[in-house]
Chains A and B, each alone.
Chain A
């Protein structure tokens, strides 16, 4: 592990009880969601991680605790280093503070995560759907969201599929 990343992970471990995970020289830190804002601020101000390159989430359904991992892909422009933060989120309607005040470009990335995963961002300035139409129902990248094909009905399972088929109802 790179010395600078080592120092950053030590600092986060001490202050926010972060867990360090490493795979093929890529470091990711598991951070409790309530500390995400402070952790990002610390990394930006003291460890030169001045760019947010992307944000996404992973759904571990049917697991409930945690159900989601919110992922922050940080980049240090002066040092050419990468670090990713992961915040575990419980339950079906999770929320996490926005990091827009630290990285303004989190705006669209968080809108995308909201749209696709239904994770709410507290104090976000513009939390609307971004990719899907505004009247879309559901959050497509959740694991309990079907891929969208039509199931073939046979006589033995006709009624069962019929009950949950999305007809246009009255």
Chain B
């Protein structure tokens, strides 16, 4: 069966310059086991000395076939796999998948569930930005920031564990609402975090924002112009750092984001340094959203009462025959979705995270497509890395903020 055993230079000929053929430049492999590639990203670099002439990303090392697997599972059971895509934004993946199902079958979500969804999504956005900041700073040789960021991330993971029983892969959001209500300690834990965290952001900024070593490595590195950002379909903080004030939470509000007051940080320089500033400000804005959502958190049910899609609570099973039937039908067969298609997108920490969901009238999705921000944004790496040093490439991988699980799916 296998005919080819290796890629020849001829097949990559269109991606490298003539100088590489003449032997004036060097082709060098970076990754997939390089610590600064944030996972398993392989880059084939054409180098002139230390200057990057061409950069050819090679992805797919973490491909798990999630899209194919989801086609073989019922809508609700497939939700478990969504956590595994972008493992730093698991809650956001759950959210967009649930929103897509709710759009497809027209399912309502109670206000309390929506508010809790917003709180947890924003907390997880902070957690994701903390991992980005930690690893980005670590790549630029600022070890202590890494330790501080992981200390605060732990507080958020504790909150998730309190709600869903898991630190990372919670699958806490379900079609029609949440798995269960948050525990009583939840509010105090979040308030405690809100009290602690602003001072901690100031602490990180004291370490980095005016640090000459950090400025040297980031200012003017990897500049992305507004036109290029739009042409290359970049979204998220990278787009906002290139002076486009676009955020799906404002432009296409979902889950009640229109109820909260927050700003979209925008910068104009488009380099690595302002992308850092945008993400730092986003963490502050997320805190504002969490504060407001927590202050007006409504009481009530956390899951839709539509028994055709949402299984009944355990307590009803002993007394209601109808509940038993619904329970049995939903857990054996699942619920059918119409033969239609929807595309739903949310703002993940990295950009537009979208799900294209197509039903075929049965209980399993016919096609699930994940439009993941990491995959779309990584494409600009060759563009912004040209002419920079290999050492800067490390900063650029960090600033694009990729998660390889999200890239390869």
Contacts and interface: CB of A to CB of B under 8 A. Distances in A.
Contacts of B379: 105, 107-108
Interface of B: 1-5, 7, 11, 14-15, 59-60, 63, 65, 67-69, 72, 103, 106, 230-233, 235, 244, 246, 251-252, 340-343, 345, 352, 354, 356, 358, 366-367, 369, 371, 375-376, 379, 408-409
A42 interface: no
A54 B63 contact: no
For chain B, what secondary structure do more than half of its interface residues adopt (helix, strand, loop), or is it mixed? mixed
Contacts of B244: 77
Contacts of B343: 26, 73, 82, 84
A105 B4 contact: no
A77 B371 contact: no
Contacts of A59: 367
Given A58-B358, A105-B233, A135-B2, A23 B342 contact: yes
A141 B68 contact: yes
Interface residues of A, number: 44
Interface in A16-30: 23-24, 26, 28
A53 B232 contact: no
What 5 pairs across the A-B complex have the smallest Cβ distances?
A: A54-B371, A105-B233, A56-B369, A131-B60, A80-B251
A27 B340 CA distance: 12
Contact of A131 (B3, B232, B376, B408): B408
A47 interface: no
B22 to A, nearest CB: 22
A141 B371 contact: no
Contact of B376 (A50, A56, A105, A116): A105
Nearest to A133: B60
Nearest to A44: B231
Interface stretch (A1-9, A90-98, A122-130, A157-165): A122-130
A37 interface: no
A87 interface: no
A24 B340 CA distance: 10
A85 interface: no
B356 A71 contact: yes
Contact of A51 (B63, B230, B375, B409): B230
Contact of B232 (A23, A54, A58, A105): A105
